Amino acid sequence: MIAPVWEELALEYEGKVDIYKVNTEDQQALASIFRIQSIPSILFIPKDGQPQMARGCTSQREFCKNNRGCFEN
């Protein structure tokens, strides 16, 4: 599951990064706007720079290795 990764990142970056979980079944219009096609999909929207999408589920170690840079700034 990816939820424990987000809980850890939310604590580590508290006050620096906002993390939201969206139920795409309940929020179909929002999922459509962001072109969510698979679950889980992680959308990174930095203040500066281009949004990035990560799709699929990996281990916590792999996820952090591949995406930690999205939280640095």
DSSP 14-56: TTT-------TTT-HHHHHHTT--SSSEEEE--SSS--EEEES
Furthest-apart CA pair in the chain: how many Å? 32
Q: Whole-angstrom Cα distance, residue 52 to residue 12?
A: 21
What's the whole-model pTM score? 0.59
Domain boundaries 3-71, corresponding CATH code: 3.40.30.10
CA angle 70, 32, 38 (to 5 degrees): 60
Rounded mean pLDDT of 2-7?
Answer: 78
Count of CB atoms within 10 A of residue 5's CB?
A: 19
pLDDT digits (tens, 9 = 90+) for 24-55: 899 999 989 988 888 888 877 777 777 777 77
Q: Where are the domains of the chain?
A: 3-71
Does the pLDDT value for residue 18 go beyond 70? yes
